[in-house]
Structure 1
């Protein structure tokens, strides 16, 4: 059973989603306005603020193993957080229109179990569930699971494609079975049946940027997150994905583009630039800067001055530590350290200044009016449908956008003044669900 056709959104619009991150140092933990990452009040406040701003989606990132630093849980990151699906189920009861999206892994889940949990959230939220499909690229995470190990890049995407196809078949059958599966997925059938939600099935999100990842998105995703937030890069990325869509029998209206973005806003451009300087130094504390380098050096660097030059000693490991994420995974340690020292010396940067330069997030900085003018250009380009916002403060980090930027965009006619419908699919402007392909190829 397919959902009713979604209304066509107005041309030239911009939307916002919110990315409530897990492990990161983009969030400013030290500020007195920073809330708990465990208290439900933080999740409720940021989701309700986003809904007040007519955001179509609230997205929770989730990892499957706590980040570590030199063999111990990294104390400068979130040390565990409630399960994303559980949080979204709770948020469904205190929100009405905003979509509820969680990262769920296709490597370490099973299709029937995950499809049923996602369908349950979709049904109970009356058509507001979404699934950000991710794979896992390291044995360190795999060690947390009974099956252990990990999959090569090509195999991860092959399994993910089969996994998503199986999930879509289950949703089309009402999470009933039996459902045909490829040889390497265990055959399954349902012990019960769930009816479809008002949007038909959960909306599928994906963020792969490799050639294989882009093909995966062109075939399976409804929304793609990307790192291509600059206008020229966003235009090129969207053009590449749209060229791939016809190969899989899909139209341009079947894939929406939401690059990740951080907004630093104020009444004037000068005030925003001053705020950005504060944000960068608050995100990268002296302790954070040293621990950033320790991932490459593999040793305690607390004896070094964060406002002084990079360490003159060599790393004590051959490869950089990847247990805090994929950023340094597999990088040769001494080669990386030598390159960093040369760059810092050439640019006259201290340890902290160098780390700030290395780790600065994608940001749009400016006064409300000038940023609104810039986003009109994004809307006119057709390169993005919206931005997935990573707030630097939780839970108050969306206030500037909702109270300052959104009214400016509405005045320019590029931002909605009400939700298009009641479901995530409607509010994203996606067409009605089509039945899944009969092939796993």
Structure 2
């Protein structure tokens, strides 16, 4: 039986709580040399793509810039365009909002990046509906939360229409109309090698999963356990069938962290050390405040959990951060029980629940565990989030990649000339086909549940 191939990708660390800023080896989060080093290391490891997250407003905590986190980052497309000249084969994926951009402008930037990189561009589509982020933009928080995926779907449809307007040697006329956009003109670029840059999606809600099944090529997930990954893939497969798509037409990449050592025991020690670096005393207090909904600066991070009750209605303490804990009540009770059972301080609890590594072990152990996930269809590959900028992938590429190659589940060279080919994705599907299948799927779903379906695409 043919073994499934493991795919790997690199996430530039920073817009998360995984980076160990206090480590002596930690470098700049904004220097172009840092981006270049990580991208070239990943390319040396034959990774599929280099991934950039992005925030459109600096995160705030208790009304002030949260300077325990990343404070600023260069603009995504500019960084990726620079990396297109510093690399040759690796894909270049950027996170760009479908809420606070416009189809013509963003489609032109991504098409230009695809030309500049000879077919290596990718777009991670994110949605934004909060007024906090909107204050940085002319229209403010104009988008209703319920419409965020409808606009994103229409945005992708418009972008694909524009990309297809080009010919092999020149641009052409285009027109696109929907509930969200009414645009027409002349597309200025020839078609790129991929025609459609690869489209990523990174949402885990039912609406997000359905959006991915109907519009995306790759999903960036948060599922790092085998059972959760298998359940997620099975759910996506079912949704893909509803859209008339083959499961292999959409790739699932969980974002994962790792701690590597010569032995499993050494790796466990390294993991514990990294986790302590990632969660400082002030960081632990801030972490707890986000769930407690109260100012906890009077509490000792090395002391017990607060004896005051949380303010569950205070959701504005932290702004600009994705709220993964939707209902904090059961979470608080779980944390209290865990802290009591293990006699954990505030900082120890924060380390316990927020800084676990996905893979811990020797090169052999990590390679075997990653391969187990892929063969069990819990993932197609992994987006590695190192704890160091920019050298956090060096040891992984030097030591784990050869182990995967030895097992025959990882490439010895890039198999194609474009990101789409290297991911094993089919050729770009015409936007008219995407739209027709979405309409068919939603008409079928509406027939089954008897409910009307609002359309985001052109009508």
Q: Where do 1:282-293 residues align within 5 Å? A: 282-293=277-288
Correspondence 1:235 to 2:230: yes
Q: After superposing the two structures, state which structure 1 stretch, 354-363 or 224-233, moved more.
A: 354-363
1:182 aligned residue (178, 181, 199): 178
Q: 1:302 Cα shift?
A: 3.6
Alpha-carbon separation, structure 1, partners of 2:162 and 2:344: 55
Contact 2:19 2:278 in 1 (8 A): yes
Tell me the equivalent position of 2:323.
327
Cα 1:299–1:187 change in 2 (3 A) is same
Q: 1:293 Cα shift?
A: 2.3
Tell me the equivalent position of 1:63.
55
2:299 aligned residue (297, 304, 308): 304
Cα deviation digits, residues 395-414 of structure 1 (max 9, x gap): 11111210110001100101
Cα 1:258–1:317 change in 2 (3 A) is closer
Alpha-carbon separation, structure 2, partners of 1:220 and 1:43: 29
Tell me the equivalent position of 1:248.
243
Alpha-carbon separation, structure 1, partners of 2:109 and 2:384: 26
Contact 2:12 2:385 in 1 (8 A): yes
**What SS is found at the alignment partner of 1:38?**
coil
Alpha-carbon separation, structure 1, partners of 2:3 and 2:86: 31
Correspondence 1:112 to 2:104: yes
Contact 1:206 1:225 in 2 (8 A): yes
Tell me the equivalent position of 2:268.
273
Tell me the equivalent position of 2:206.
211
Q: 1:118 Cα shift?
A: 0.5
Contact 2:252 2:380 in 1 (8 A): yes
Q: Where do 1:9-158 residues align within 5 Å? A: 11-158=3-150
- Please, what TM-score do these two structures have when normalized by structure 2? 0.88
Alpha-carbon separation, structure 2, partners of 1:308 and 1:168: 55
Cα 1:314–1:42 change in 2 (3 A) is same
Cα deviation digits, residues 84-118 of structure 1 (max 9, x gap): 11100111111000000000111111111111111
Q: After superposing the two structures, state which structure 1 stretch, 364-373 or 144-153, moved more.
A: 144-153
Tell me the equivalent position of 1:7.
none
Alpha-carbon separation, structure 1, partners of 2:429 and 2:388: 39
Alignment length (residue pairs): 430
Cα 1:315–1:250 change in 2 (3 A) is closer
Tell me the equivalent position of 2:192.
197
Q: 1:207 Cα shift?
A: 1.3
1:360 aligned residue (350, 355, 362): 355
Q: 1:435 Cα shift?
A: 1.1
**What SS is found at the alignment partner of 2:288?**
helix
**What SS is found at the alignment partner of 1:437?**
helix
Cα 1:233–1:362 change in 2 (3 A) is farther
Q: After superposing the two structures, state which structure 1 stretch, 88-97 or 350-359, moved more.
A: 350-359
Q: After superposing the two structures, state which structure 1 stretch, 375-384 or 271-280, moved more.
A: 375-384
Q: 1:221 Cα shift?
A: 0.7
Contact 1:280 1:356 in 2 (8 A): yes
Tell me the equivalent position of 2:408.
413
Contact 1:23 1:78 in 2 (8 A): yes
Q: 1:345 Cα shift?
A: 2.8
Q: Where do 1:288-437 residues align within 5 Å? A: 288-297=283-292, 300-314=295-309, 318-320=313-315, 321-327=317-323, 340-437=335-432
- Please, what TM-score do these two structures have when normalized by structure 1? 0.92
Cα 1:143–1:398 change in 2 (3 A) is same
Tell me the equivalent position of 2:452.
none
Q: 1:59 Cα shift?
A: 0.5
Alpha-carbon separation, structure 1, partners of 2:9 and 2:159: 24
Alpha-carbon separation, structure 2, partners of 1:335 and 1:367: 36
Cα 1:12–1:148 change in 2 (3 A) is same
Q: 1:331 Cα shift?
A: 5.5
Alpha-carbon separation, structure 2, partners of 1:323 and 1:214: 25
Cα 1:317–1:371 change in 2 (3 A) is closer
Q: 1:356 Cα shift?
A: 1.1
